[in-house]
A and B are shown apart, each in its own frame.
Chain A
């Protein structure tokens, strides 16, 4: 369901629009290198395909019907960059040919369906497929999981943007609205998962060559660019960590204001407080820097583990009928 104008405020629409423009611009930049002269026919055809696929109705309940969204499907067919561009063009045509979705909210719709749906969906399915072993079954499960998560993520982001759009939510329980939206979209997500997974399964068995095969990364081992990124992150941590505000953040502040009785004993946590490592106020700056450095290195380690390129040792092809 596309967000119409009026649901989100103009500043939120502009902010999501800016994110979408950046993401689509980067996709176009990547496509110039990867697809080159195939960009227009391939992305154009996939856009037309998703558009037509969305017009095929699936019966649900009491005369109502649903349809495909297609972000993960497009990304699975032509990759995240062409998938993002294709979904963006689908939303554009739906807006300017059928008045479907908002004019100001076009950026938000692109953010949810093209950026989160195609790019995010591709990333999720790639991780799941890799964890399960790069078989046809793993590919289908990856598509199913990614379809469901992206729909839920889009619903969550929509609620977040709705909250940011309102100057005051006095008397309005955002949590209950979030629960309703998540519950409603959980069913939409199941439908999307079944449709996308079913299509990818059939295409995998009939024509596996049509599915997008990611090219191996040029940087196959941690090299200079990785070290450069880590160095920049560490420098930023060292320079900016001492400037961290001592005031509580938004969530802490809200909890402090709403909870009248605070527990006597804080719950145990490794990084419950930045000063926790040293404990002395004189060591405040150094403890913040050290905590920041440890946090950066842990996040870097997780990124390196999850971000390793696929090894070429797996001989199982996506179309292997033995799957």
Chain B
């Protein structure tokens, strides 16, 4: 059964919407609480952690994500008392940090229980414009293609480089890498567009509808 056919089942759609709504509800609740409401914030934190535990997210993955997220929020929260010479703003910083942490965990649970392709199909059913969904789908496919391209360019540069490099050289190399990526990706986009035109592309994606096995008729595009 294809993803699209599986997704035509109402149960999957309602489940995805419920997951989105649950995550949003936790974020909304967390953002309405201040640092002084720590029991309620703690309850929401426990709820988000319980959700992550039930979803089967590996502890190492959770730790890795938290390690990436924590410095950013710590920097942002600490900038509030830092701007006041550390004489005030601590309560505000604690509120920002607690809200952000609970919301981050709720968001992490959402992306763990709702795969990206299912998210796109849910948004499509929620009447988000087709051009946005199709472009997102196209982008999602090409992120991995371009990442592979980046690795190839980087490997080729390393193979041609000898000796130590200073920071200026690294900046030059990184700028050159992205500029090369710009040229190659836009050329690739142009080639893909022409290939799409050759296959009858008129600006709209078409999805094949699920046809029961007993139906002897041909499969028609919707």
Contacts and interface: CB of A to CB of B under 8 A. Distances in A.
A36 B196 CA distance: 14
B28 interface: yes
**Chain A interface: which size bin?**
35 or more
A192 B61 CA distance: 31
Given A28-B129, A45-B192, A104-B28, A68 B139 contact: no
A199 B188 CA distance: 18
B45 interface: no
B193 interface: yes
Interface in B63-98: 65, 69, 72-73, 75-76, 79-80, 82-85, 88-89, 92, 95-98
Given A5-B100, A93-B140, A198-B175, A48 B132 contact: no
Contacts of B178: 53, 56, 68, 195, 199
A71 to B, nearest CB: 14
A303 interface: no
**Chain B interface: which size bin?**
35 or more
B146 A176 contact: no
Nearest to B149: A52
Contacts of B135: 39-40, 43-44, 47, 85, 89
A42 interface: yes
Nearest to B150: A52
Contacts of B104: 4-5, 99
Interface stretch (B1-9, B10-18, B197-205, B209-217): B197-205
B31 A5 contact: yes
A49 B116 CA distance: 19
A46 B189 CA distance: 9
B171 interface: yes
A251 B151 CA distance: 54
Question: Which of A28, A40, A59 has its CB near the most chain B CB atoms (within 10 A)?
Answer: A40
Contacts of B171: 58-59, 194, 198
Contacts of B95: 6
A89 B136 contact: yes
Contacts of B106: 103
10 contacts: A7-B99, A28-B129, A40-B134, A44-B139, A46-B186, A58-B170, A59-B167, A93-B136, A96-B111, A104-B27
Interface of B: 23-24, 27-28, 30-32, 65, 69, 72-73, 75-76, 79-80, 82-85, 88-89, 92, 95-100, 102-104, 106-108, 110-111, 116, 119, 129, 131-132, 134-140, 142-143, 145-147, 149-150, 167, 170-172, 174-179, 181-183, 185-186, 188-189, 192-193, 196-197, 201-203, 205
Interface of A: 1-2, 4-7, 9-10, 13, 28, 31-32, 36-49, 51-53, 55-59, 68, 73, 77, 85, 89-90, 92-93, 95-99, 102-104, 166, 171-173, 176-177, 179-181, 184, 194-195, 198-199, 202-203, 206-207, 210
